[in-house]
Amino acid sequence: MTRGDSTAVGESGALDRRNAAWYIDKLVQVLVFVGGISAIVFIIGIFVFITREGIGFVFGELDLWEFLASPRWRPTSDHNPTYGALALIAGTASITGLAMLVAVPFSIGSAIFIAEFATGKTREALKVLIELLAAIPSVVWGFIGLTIMNPLIIKIFDVPVGLNVLNAGIILGLMAAPIMTTIAEDALKAVPDGYREAAEAMGATRWQVTYKVVLPAAKNGLVAAILLGVGRGFGETMAVLMASGHAVNLPGSVFDSVRALTATIAAELGETAVGSNHYQVLFTLGIFLFVVTFAINLTADLVVRGIRKQ
């Protein structure tokens, strides 16, 4: 018998298993592949469609220097509309910055408590509560900023307006904290128990183990958690729209009202005519938001991948 014989049998069809089940299997494989690439299709679709609406302005009338360096956002002016986004960028940055000051210590602290100190029922209860905290819709947070935080800030700090950087920053901090806590806790949990046991065998207390061993080992994951929190704060819309005061303003203190990039789109898109300069500049803001959040998410992903490689 030569080696060619067995192939010949296959070719003649005796071993051909291409029955109905085989074809269904192939069909399903194609279908789930289409589903599989849907996320890529949609993310490219988002970029293509927002660019399609905004690109004419970007390469036409947009003065990039004015866009990035002028705080004058007057898109509806009849005589001389100006499209300076600096005040909006400063608004978003100040709110997100304050939110991170609130959220980073609290979420890392909570993550350490949940992952390293809490046990059994306490841990489960905390995790469930934090998950519920993450579920509160952003419009409800905005409503809380408007109705609860606003009078509270006016009363405590004796300022005329309570809708400002402080209000939006605290609200945004509370919104970003649960996500950051969950991701930070995952990062702490990913540190092998062997590290902890080795340190404990040397007589280290639980805090020493955490501080000297677990935190350094989980460093990358914690950085990723913070980055994703920043991305979340950067892109938050409704809560910031309702709690920030929505005044175009370069903030001088936390008691100044500001306006965020996202909130500007949400507040103004409804009043613009499709295709007008104003309409297109709002899509330009959208492209800017998309590119920045994409960069943040990509960086977070690379940082996390860094840990896996180690």
Partner 1 sequence: MFTATELNQRNRKVERLFRLLFLMMAGLLILPVIIILGVLIYKGGPVLSMDFLFTEPTDGMTAGGIFPALVGTIWLVSVALLFSVPIGVAAAIYLSEYAADNWFTRAINLAIINLAGVPSIVHALFGVGAFVIFFRFGTSILAAALTLGVMTLPVVIVATRESLQAVPQAFREACWNMGATRWQTIRKVVLPNSVSGILTGVILEVSRTVGETAPIMFTGAALFLPFLPQSVMDQTMALSLHLFVISTQVPGVPEGTPYGVALVLIGLVLAMNSVSIALRMYLRGKKKW
Residue 99 CB, shortest distance to partner 1, in Å, is 13
**Window 153-172: residues binding partner 1 (CB under 8 A):** none
Question: How many residues make contact with partner 1 (CB under 8 A)?
Answer: 88
Choosing from 7, 8, 9, 46, the residue that interacts with partner 1 (CB under 8 A) is 46
Q: Using CB under 8 A, which residues numbered 203 to 242 contact partner 1?
A: 205-208, 210, 228, 231-232, 234-238, 242
CB of 66 to partner 1, least distance (A): 22
- Binding to partner 1 by residue 148, rule CB under 8 A? yes
- Our CB check for partner 1 shows the closer of 252 and 270 to be 270
301 contacts partner 1 (rule: CB under 8 A): yes
Instruction: Assess 45 for contact with partner 1 (CB under 8 A).
Output: yes
Residue 142 within binding range of partner 1, rule CB under 8 A: yes
Q: Print the SS3 string covering the chain.
A: CCCHHHHHHHHHCCCCCCCHHHHHHHHHHHHHHHHHCHHHHHHHHHHHHHHHHHHHHHHCCCCHHHHHHCCCEECCCCCCCEECCHHHHHHHHHHHHHHHHHHHHHHHHHHHHHHHHCCHHHHHHHHHHHHHHHHCCHHHHHHHHHHHHHHHHHHHHCCCCCCCHHHHHHHHHHHHHHHHHHHHHHHHHCCCHHHHHHHHHCCCCHHHHHHHHHHHHCHHHHHHHHHHHHHHHHHCCHHHHHHCECCCCCCCCCCCCECCHHHHHHHHHHHCCCCCHHHHHHHHHHHHHHHHHHHHHHHHHHHHHHHHHC
Q: Which of 94, 262, 277, 280 binds partner 1 (CB under 8 A)?
A: 262
Query: Between residue 16 and residue 35, which ones bind partner 1 under the rule CB under 8 A?
Result: 21-22, 24-25, 28-29, 31-35
Chain-centre distance for alpha carbon 275: 29
Q: Figure out which of the listed residues 4, 13, 36, 192 binds partner 1, where binding follows CB under 8 A.
A: 36
Instruction: Mark the segment that binds partner 1 (CB under 8 A) among 5-13, 68-76, 131-139, 154-162.
Output: 131-139
| Choice between 165 and 282, CB closer to partner 1 | 282
In angstroms, what is the minimal distance from the CB of 189 to partner 1?
15
Q: Is 266 in the site for partner 1 (CB under 8 A)?
A: yes
Tokens representing 61 are: 């009338």
**Piece in contact with partner 1 (CB under 8 A), picked from 70-78, 187-195, 249-257, 294-302:** 294-302
For partner 1, give the closer residue by CB, 140 or 198. Answer: 140
Gap between the Cα atoms of 238 and 139, Å rounded: 5
User: Which residue of 97, 109, 151, 216 would you call a contact of partner 1, by CB under 8 A?
Assistant: 109
